[in-house]
Amino acid sequence: MRRHFNVESQPGFGFIALITFFALYLPIATLVAYSFNGADSFSVWEGFSWRWFISASQNSAVQDAAIRSMIIALWAASLATIAATMAAIAMTRTKPYRGLTFKYALINQPLMVPEIVTAVALLIVFSRIKVWTGYSGLGFLIAAHTAFCLPFAYLPIRARLESMDLTLERAAADLYATPWQTFRHVTLPLLRPAIIAGFMLALVISLDDVVITEFVKSGGQDTLPTYMLGQIRRETTPEINAIATIFLGLSTILVVIFFFISRRKP
């Protein structure tokens, strides 16, 4: 009898997996460990200390960048989730028609095109709008992040809609519920875990973005990732390690929440 292929049973699988995890997580573990180093150097350990976390919390530039990052991420994730929910409902609660696949590909375009291409395109468009309007506020960053985060919110919401049983929606229609009442009292409660998961994923993507932010932002609009990049270019201190550790912890918490929410079945 033919045996089913199982990669875990192949010779050397465990060793290769161990090396892979070692290569992936050793730099992160080193960064986290040295964020608690009391020395001014990255390479000399002088004992455990909260010095750099305190320094980062008292740094006004870090505070401004962190608040700006959160404002942009919350706005972008909210707008992307609303748009993704409407798009997913429109594309799953309809009969297949010509052009539906093209619309699906168009929504997911930011996933297929290199991020640097999207960043340059947004830079060109927004630079002209800035000249015409004279406006250079955070609206451009919010719009750019919303466009980039849209497919990340769309995919889990669409997946949940496709797996949902239509019996309850049909029953609501048979009981003379309007489309809005059906959506509010039946579809939305069943869809809520996917909406939350899409929002959390979009929030993480927005918080972590560097390339698009670096191209679109105006002067004085550094987010936390771009601030860290600028500090590394100018003067590197273990304070960057502390900021990165906090950022890592926040991103990890959001991803874990997204993971558990996305596993829930309707």
pLDDT in tens, 228-244: 888 777 766 778 888 88
Q: What is the pLDDT of residue 3?
A: 60
Using the predicted structure, report yes or no on whether residue 265 has a pLDDT greater than 60.
no
pLDDT band at 77 (very low <50, low <70, confident <90, very high): very high
Q: Would you say 171 and 105 are in contact if contact means Cβ atoms under 8 Å apart?
A: no
Q: How far is 45 from 34, CA to CA, in rounded Å?
A: 8
pLDDT band at 176 (very low <50, low <70, confident <90, very high): confident
Burial class (CB in 10 A: 0-12, 13-18, 19+), 55: middle
Tokens of 199: 């929002």
pLDDT band at 32 (very low <50, low <70, confident <90, very high): confident
Q: What is the mean pLDDT of residues 86-94?
A: 85
pLDDT band at 2 (very low <50, low <70, confident <90, very high): low
Q: Would you say 206 and 138 are in contact if contact means Cβ atoms under 8 Å apart?
A: no
Q: What is the pLDDT of residue 264?
A: 60
Q: What is the pLDDT of residue 188?
A: 82
Q: What is the pLDDT of residue 235?
A: 67
Q: Would you say 68 and 138 are in contact if contact means Cβ atoms under 8 Å apart?
A: yes
Q: How far is 255 from 28, CA to CA, in rounded Å?
A: 17
The better pLDDT of the pair 118, 167 is held by 118
Q: How many whole angstroms from its chain centre is CA 251?
A: 9
The better pLDDT of the pair 7, 101 is held by 101
Using the predicted structure, report yes or no on whether residue 266 has a pLDDT greater than 60.
no
Q: What is the pLDDT of residue 72?
A: 93
Chain segment 195-228, per-residue pLDDT in tens: 888 898 898 889 888 899 989 888 788 888 888 8
Q: What is the pLDDT of residue 30?
A: 84
- Residue 202, C-beta contacts closer than 8 angstroms, at least 6 positions apart: 76, 77, 80, 81, 84, 149, 150, 152, 153
pLDDT band at 93 (very low <50, low <70, confident <90, very high): confident
Q: How many CA atoms, within 13 angstroms, populate the side-chain half-sphere of residue 39? A: 9
Q: What is the mean pLDDT of residues 144-148?
A: 92
Main-chain dihedrals φ then ψ at residue 165, nearest 5 degrees: -75, 130
Q: Length of the chain in residues, anyone?
A: 266
Q: How many CA atoms, within 13 angstroms, populate the side-chain half-sphere of residue 201? A: 24
CA-to-CA dists, residue 21 to 25, 33, 182, 245, angstroms: 6, 17, 47, 19
Closest CA to 31 of 43, 19, 49: 43
Q: What is the pLDDT of residue 54?
A: 85
Using the predicted structure, report yes or no on whether residue 7 has a pLDDT greater than 70.
no
Closest CA to 210 of 193, 232, 191: 232
Dihedral Cα 83, 170, 167, 196, nearest 10 deg: 20
- CATH annotation of 60-263: 1.10.3720.10
Q: How many helices (H) and strands (E) does the chain have?
A: 13, 0
Q: Would you say 35 and 242 are in contact if contact means Cβ atoms under 8 Å apart?
A: yes
The better pLDDT of the pair 85, 96 is held by 85
pLDDT band at 16 (very low <50, low <70, confident <90, very high): confident
CB neighbourhood size of 208 (10 A) = 17
